Structure 1
Amino acid sequence: MSTLNLASAPEDAAALEGAEAHHARLAGELAGRVKMLLTAVDRDPTAVERIHAGLVAFCDRSLLPHAAAEEAALYPAAHAMFEARLLIESLIGEHRCLTTLVDTLRTAPGPADAAADARALQVLFEEHVAKENGLVLPLLAMTPEVSLAALLADMHHRIANGTGGSGVPQDQSNEKGHDMRGQRTDEPGGCGGVCGCGGAEEAAEPELDVREVPHALRHAAVFGALDAVPAGTAVVLIAPHDPLPLLAQIEQRNPGVFSVEYLERGPQAWRLRLSHR
């Protein structure tokens, strides 16, 4: 069944597709950041603190405000429907679990604890958005009395204005090295320990194997991973094919920031070193 057939109006069909794409970007960036943290715990302990802080900052500025805005703008319309009431109440409960996991991740006493908390957060969020994509959003889109497009517009207005679900402006600060829009900025000092400026020598480069990431999340996962790579360091990308379209998107997103070196060119895998200049 097509998206248009699921929706009661063309604008709601477009809104449904846009919401699913937004969920994919959030889940993908979370997956990329979690993968970087897990890799750093195993291969580059000197980078764990920085990647951990970046992951928490991403949750604070993106995941949790998204959840709060959903509860304020999207969930009430679905909760008013008898057939969705219990589902929405369970999803609100999952939001509380997500908040608790982020707080637990924030105060993790050690790298292994942070890795476990991050992985649990990723699994819960991916299952959560799967329910929203498969049940809540289609239900709202196919209900003639409800404008999904209007609900999502209200939701994103709340996120953009930093009010979430409370009407009180939230802290929109970002982790060091990014501006409010998530764009890279110059990061002063340090190289992550790979250029001989005083950091640990011969730190292992983290790897992101996108073959382990669901196809719909792959590009967003790479963007999330790259956002955790400071200047002077690199990440090794492993892909099932030559990722030329992805490389073009990386250059469009961050012009001149990353250099690309092919380490392996198939046939089973393509390995590329993406270095943050």
Structure 2
Amino acid sequence: MTGASEVYISGTSTDPALRASRALRAEAGRILTEYREKAAVVTELQLDGSARAEANARLSAFATGPLTGYLSAADRALNATAAGAPATRLLVRALRRIQDSVLRSVDELRQADTSAQVSHAAQALDALLAAYLDAETNVLLPALADLPGADVPALVDDLRTLLDGGELESPEILDVREIPHGTRHPRIFGRYARLAPGESFVLVNNHDPKPLRREFAAAHGEGFTWEYVESGPEKWQVRIGRAAVPA
């Protein structure tokens, strides 16, 4: 019987996916708001001498610290999950191009010497960052929710873990026999998303995971590898990998 804490109505405030989406939007909004508050000091106020240098330093420190850290965490926790799926591969490529542009603007801001240079770099970074966060929350997030096996609450938890300075678990062996059936596939897809090309892990299950293989084929095409290590009758082990990039 499902416990009371696990019962929810989809689309309401008790829906874990909805709560996770709101948490991600709040985090993205916080990053943009904090950046704009610091950028406004150097672009809108007429500061001189040490006051200007201090404001510039605070803005640069935020851009190279929390802002860049958020982009890195989002790429690992969110983009990596969608990058291998045919339906979202091009979206992730576009998002990563915007990320690259954001990082170039961060570097320009860090190296700016004059007030005009700082102001120009800060405004360019504002536009690019806003575009990236808008695409992340309004395009990528709904796409992840529709991706077979993707678990938005778990992905947002991973993002939070990385932002808090933690590391994601990447076990060599993933034994799902004690995990409830309804939550096994998202856990497996989440583990797969952390693989680099050529890496793999061993899935341990209590039945032949043929339905999972069909989901992988639908989501990742020929981008994954699947090799039976043990085939029943009580335990199945499958080595699942991300295909190596052709030389």
TM-score range, shorter chain: 0.5 to 0.7
TM-score, normalised to structure 2's length?
0.59
- CA positional deviation for 1:99: 1.3
How high is the sequence identity, in percent, across the aligned residues? 24
AA in 1 matched with 2:25: E
Q: Equivalent residue of 2:150, what SS?
A: coil
Pick from 54, 61, 65 the counterpart of residue 58 of structure 2: 54
The CA distance in 2 between the partners of 1:142 and 1:83, in whole Å, is: 10
Q: Could you list the structure 1 runs, at least 4 aligned residues long, displaced by more than 4 angstroms after superposition.
A: none
Q: Does the 8 A contact of 1:13 with 1:141 survive in 2?
A: no
1:26 matched to 2:31: yes
The CA distance in 1 between the partners of 2:97 and 2:58, in whole Å, is: 25
- CA positional deviation for 1:148: 0.9
TM-score, normalised to structure 1's length?
0.53
Pick from 109, 125, 129 the counterpart of residue 113 of structure 2: 109
- CA RMSD in angstroms, aligned pairs only: 2.2
- CA positional deviation for 1:81: 2.5
Q: Does the 8 A contact of 1:65 with 1:162 survive in 2?
A: no
Structure 1 residues 136, 118: CA separation in 2 closer, same or farther (over 3 Å shift)? same
Count of residues in correspondence between the two structures: 158
Pick from 38, 43, 49 the counterpart of residue 43 of structure 2: 38
The CA distance in 1 between the partners of 2:146 and 2:87, in whole Å, is: 14
* Alignment map for 1:10-159 (pairs within 5 Å): 10-40=15-45, 43-46=46-49, 47-143=51-147, 145-159=149-163
The CA distance in 2 between the partners of 1:16 and 1:81, in whole Å, is: 20
Q: Equivalent residue of 1:104, what SS?
A: helix
Q: Does the 8 A contact of 1:6 with 1:138 survive in 2?
A: no
The CA distance in 2 between the partners of 1:96 and 1:73, in whole Å, is: 17
Higher relative contact order (CA 8 A, sep 6+): 1
Q: Unpaired runs of 5+ in structure 2?
A: 1-9, 169-247
- CA positional deviation for 1:75: 0.7
The CA distance in 1 between the partners of 2:107 and 2:166, in whole Å, is: 20
